[in-house]
Every structure is written in C-alpha cells, then in structure tokens.
C-alpha cells in the first residue's frame, strides 16, 4: 500500500519555483483520519485505520486519542471501532453560506409545515452523501422528522437525485463518482440518468419512500443564481387511514416554497460573488 503524504515536500517546493516549504505532519495525520472515517461505510478499528492510511498503529494512536478528546470522533467500547461524530457537521452549519441558506429557508419551512400538516426537511449534498441540515415538525397530533445529520448516498436517495437532476453535468458526474467510491456495488448510470431525466421533466419528485412503509417522499430543488441546485426540501408525507392523501397539492405548495427560498438567496449569492 502506498503511504500518503499531503504535506509539502522539498521536491514540491523545487517544482513550484522556490516557494517556502511548510509541513505539519500531525495536522496531516489528523486530516487523513477524518477523511478516511468520512468515506468509510462503517466504524473502523485502529488497525483498519492504520492499514487504510498506510501508517503504523503507533503513528496514529495519539492522534485518535486527541480527536476523540476534542469530540471529532467517537469510539464504540464494545467493538473498539471509531467513527465520526457530528461535530464537523455542526461546525459546518455556522459557515456564512449555510447561515444564508438557513435564514432564507427556515421561515418558508415553518409556513409549509403549518399549511400541509407535514414535516419538511432541508437537505444538502456533502462528499456524495445527503445531509439533513434542518427539519420542522408538522401535524396536529404527530410528526415524522429525520434526525439532523441523517443521510445516505445521493444516488440512492430522493433528495439526492433531485439535486443531481438540477446540477450541471460535470458537477453531477463528480457527485456520482463520490457515491460510487462509497457504494457496495457499481452504480447503474444509465438507469440513474433516466431517473434524473424524469425528475427534471416534472420539476420535482414524488414517490414511495425507499426506507419507510406508509411514507411518500415529495421533494423539490432550491436553485441558485447559476441555475443549479444548491439544496433541496423534502417532505416525508405520512399517509394515514381514513384521511385523504394530498400528494399533488403538497408538491405544488412545496414547489412554491422552494421558488421563494431560491428568490431570497439570489441577492445574497450575488453579493457574495461580488465580494469574492
């Protein structure tokens, strides 16, 4: 196995034209651990982490202890395996772009929950996986909400496919590549392409949940100023006995809410681009 080293080396400096050489081996090891755990399908033991990085257990032991003490990773006492905590996710929610998205979306999600009696969720894609960043409970007597941070492969989720359908081909292909690197089996890209075409033609997705019985997924994209999806809102519609299911009406209300959120974000995105 080839040992990775993401720090600058002397040869890097020479080829770059006598730029200063900087190296932070400890930081590099910590980032390698986080990146490996972020793409792992399940928790990894110290040996599996060491093997995955091409390092010895002695090299990463202290790094694992430090990351655990800082709350970035968690260790399962039963299996002695490590996994990412939600700390990086929570930190990411405080970036200006995410704050702008949350500020624009939350009032509309609250109004949508009240109007439909269902629970809307705000979702983004990160490293090929969907991530629930906000949810508003809906319903008079009960509600169905997904935990913040919940996600799955974008290619295998309703919200992920909606965002892929409204992404430029180059970005969509990159996301699919990231998904395939984490998938247990090769992705049928021809089938996926047909699914995305159908979503794009409708402007939204409406289908039975892939995970839960009695739940219908209704999802629309939030479009940025470049015409590409930057997020999606999905309603996990709870179908109930002796109560009419209003799927199409809910989809229309959801589309309207996403258009309002997109319009709110356009001035923010324009101002951000001017400042960059």
Report yes or no: 237 and 215 within 8 Å, Cβ to Cβ.
yes
Domain end (from 26, 50, 85)? 85
Rounded to 5 degrees, φ, ψ at 231 are -170, 180
The answer to whether position 1 is within a domain reads no
Residues in the chain: 276
Residues 153, 76 within the same domain: no
The answer to whether position 3 is within a domain reads no
What pLDDT score does 8 carry?
A: 32
Burial label for 114, CB within 10 Å (0-12, 13-18, 19+), is exposed
Alpha helices in the chain (DSSP H): 10-15, 25-39, 46-53, 57-69, 87-92, 96-116, 158-165, 169-182, 189-202, 247-275
- Mean of pLDDT values over 174-181: 92
The answer to whether position 178 is within a domain reads yes
Q: In terms of residue numbers, what domain contains 31?
A: 10-85
Cα radius of gyration rounded to whole Å, the chain: 21
Q: What is the band of 197 on the pLDDT scale with cuts at 50, 70, 90?
A: very high
Number of structural domains (the chain) is: 2
What pLDDT score does 23 carry?
A: 67
What pLDDT score does 151 carry?
A: 83
Burial label for 10, CB within 10 Å (0-12, 13-18, 19+), is exposed
- Is the per-residue pLDDT at 224 higher than 50? yes
- Is the per-residue pLDDT at 189 higher than 90? yes
Q: What is the DSSP letter of 125?
A: E
Q: Which of 258 and 31 is assigned the larger pLDDT?
A: 258
Domain end (from 62, 85, 108)? 85
């Amino acid at each position: 196995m080839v040992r990775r080293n993401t720090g600058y080396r002397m040869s890097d400096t020479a080829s770059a034209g006598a730029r200063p050489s900087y190296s932070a081996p400890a930081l590099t090891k910590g980032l390698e651990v986080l990146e490996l755990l972020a793409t792992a399908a399940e928790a990894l033991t110290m040996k599996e982490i060491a093997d995955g990085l091409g390092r010895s257990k002695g090299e990463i032991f202290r790094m694992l202890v430090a990351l655990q003490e800082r709350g970035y990773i968690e260790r399962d006492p039963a299996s002695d395996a490590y996994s990412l905590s939600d700390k990086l996710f929570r930190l990411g929610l405080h970036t200006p772009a995410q704050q702008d998205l949350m500020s624009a979306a939350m009032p509309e999600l609250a109004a949508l929950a009240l109007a439909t009696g269902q629970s809307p969720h705000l979702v983004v894609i990160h490293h090929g996986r969907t991530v629930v960043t906000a949810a508003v409970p809906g319903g008079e007597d009960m509600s169905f909400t997904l935990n913040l941070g919940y996600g799955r492969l974008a290619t295998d989720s309703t919200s992920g496919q909606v965002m892929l359908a409204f992404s430029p081909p180059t970005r969509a292909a990159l996301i699919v590549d990231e998904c395939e690197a984490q998938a247990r089996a090769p992705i049928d890209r021809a089938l996926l392409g047909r699914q995305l075409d159908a979503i794009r033609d409708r402007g939204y997705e409406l289908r039975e949940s892939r995970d839960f019985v009695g739940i219908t997924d209704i999802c629309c994209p939030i479009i940025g100023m470049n015409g590409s999806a930057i997020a999606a809102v999905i309603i996990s519609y709870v179908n109930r006995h002796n109560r009419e299911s209003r799927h199409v009406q809910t989809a229309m209300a959801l589309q309207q809410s996403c258009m309002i959120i997109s319009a709110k974000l356009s001035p923010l995105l324009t101002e951000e681009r001017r400042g960059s």
